């Protein structure tokens, strides 16, 4: 066989091998969006600069303002804009494609309902319910069973709200029938009703009462009668700042962020 023909066959074979490398790499499966985000995140301490929109449960209002300021100080050039509401409202915003970068809810069920819309979540904190009363506890509320008193004006969060579900869960567990005068769209609305004297008592998170210690009293609920609220955080997959969003969510589990959360009364994940 002529040498020219042999050389041509060899060149064709080499070209085929070269072309097969990227094709085989693609056939092994594209990287997940989460893996791509992780690779895009910087290896150093500084996160990518961006204006981040973070949707967060209303019970995180005060502590996230502190956390956001700390994060911006640590990452000059980054600005965080928070939008606080009931977790169910935030989930609806994500489903409707509202422009946002990260989400933090007050329960895992709401976050799990957004599978496909968010990256893998991580629990950053926990919380517990307490009975909130007016300052000085004028109605002398002592325990959960007192909330069934028909002469007591009680408000609860609506059942679709995490705090509302937790409230109903612990009341059902103790076979206590409470007839609230209103069901509020988020836990902060419950706190506000008690704070303003529009209600004698309500079930809120411990951290809510600690945000206004001079305006309401908190009646502890025994651990065996209580429920643990978990706060998962996740980057939103449609974020225009995926690496920056992932970096912020990761920071929420850092020692600095955990110290801020625990100083505000939140407990470890």
Judged on CB neighbours under 10 Å (0-12, 13-18, 19+), 166 is buried
Residue 42 clears pLDDT 60, i.e. is over it: no
In a domain, 87, yes or no: yes
| 127 within 8 A of 187, measured Cβ to Cβ | no
The string over 213-242, giving b where at least 16 C-beta atoms fall within 10 Å of a residue's C-beta and e elsewhere, is eebbbbbebeeeebbebbbbbbbbbebebb
Tens digits of per-residue pLDDT, 117-168?
999 999 999 999 999 999 999 999 999 999 999 999 999 999 999 999 999 9
Residues 211 and 151 in one domain: yes
pLDDT tens digit sequence for 166-194: 999 999 999 999 999 999 999 999 999 99
Q: What is the CATH number for 173?
A: 3.40.190.10
pLDDT above 90: residue 4: no
Residue 136 near residue 216 (C-beta atoms within 8 A): no
Residues 107/162, Cβ–Cβ less than 8 Å: yes
Question: Residue 16 domain-assigned?
Answer: no
- With a CB cutoff of 8 Å and minimum separation 6, the contacts of 68 are 54, 80, 82
Q: Are residues 113 and 46 in the same domain?
A: yes
Q: Which helix (H) or strand (E) holds 52?
A: strand 51-57
Burial of 185 per CB tally in 10 Å (0-12, 13-18, 19+): middle
- The pTM score is 0.82
Confidence bin at 32 (pLDDT 50/70/90): very low
Of 101, 80, 124, nearest to 237 (Cα)? Answer: 101
Q: Same domain for 132 and 218?
A: yes
Residues 6+ away with beta carbon under 8 Å from 34: 119, 120
Q: Identify whether residues 161 and 111 lie together within a single domain.
A: no
Q: Is the residue at 19 inside a domain?
A: no
Q: Report the pLDDT averaged over residues 197-219.
A: 96
CA separation, residue 138 to residues 82, 134, 252 (Å): 35, 7, 39
* Domain housing 224: 128-228
Number of domains in the chain: 2
């Amino acid at each position: 066989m002529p040498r020219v023909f042999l050389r041509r066959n060899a060149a064709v074979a080499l070209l085929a091998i070269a072309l097969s490398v990227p094709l085989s790499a693609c056939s092994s499966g594209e990287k997940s969006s989460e893996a791509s985000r992780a690779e895009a995140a910087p290896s150093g301490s500084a996160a990518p600069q961006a204006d981040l929109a973070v949707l967060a449960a209303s019970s995180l209002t005060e502590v996230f303002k502190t956390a956001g300021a700390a994060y911006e100080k640590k990452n000059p050039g980054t600005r965080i804009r928070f939008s606080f509401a009931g977790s169910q409202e935030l989930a609806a915003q994500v489903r409707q494609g509202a422009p946002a970068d990260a989400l933090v809810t007050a329960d895992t069920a709401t976050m799990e309902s957004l599978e496909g819309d968010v990256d893998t979540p991580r629990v950053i904190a926990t919380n517990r319910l307490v009975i909130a009363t007016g300052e000085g506890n004028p109605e002398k509320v002592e325990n959960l069973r007192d909330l069934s008193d028909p002469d007591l004006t009680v408000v609860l969060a609506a059942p679709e709200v995490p705090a509302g579900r937790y409230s109903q869960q612990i009341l059902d567990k103790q076979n206590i029938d409470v007839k609230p005068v209103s069901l509020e769209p988020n836990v902060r609305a419950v706190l506000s009703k008690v704070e303003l004297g529009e209600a004698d008592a309500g079930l809120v998170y411990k951290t809510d009462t600690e945000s206004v210690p001079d305006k309401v009293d908190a009646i502890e609920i025994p651990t065996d009668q209580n429920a643990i609220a978990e706060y998962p955080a996740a980057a939103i997959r449609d974020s225009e700042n995926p690496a920056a969003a992932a970096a912020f969510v990761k920071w929420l589990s850092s020692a600095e962020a955990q110290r801020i959360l625990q100083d505000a009364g939140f407990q470890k994940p």
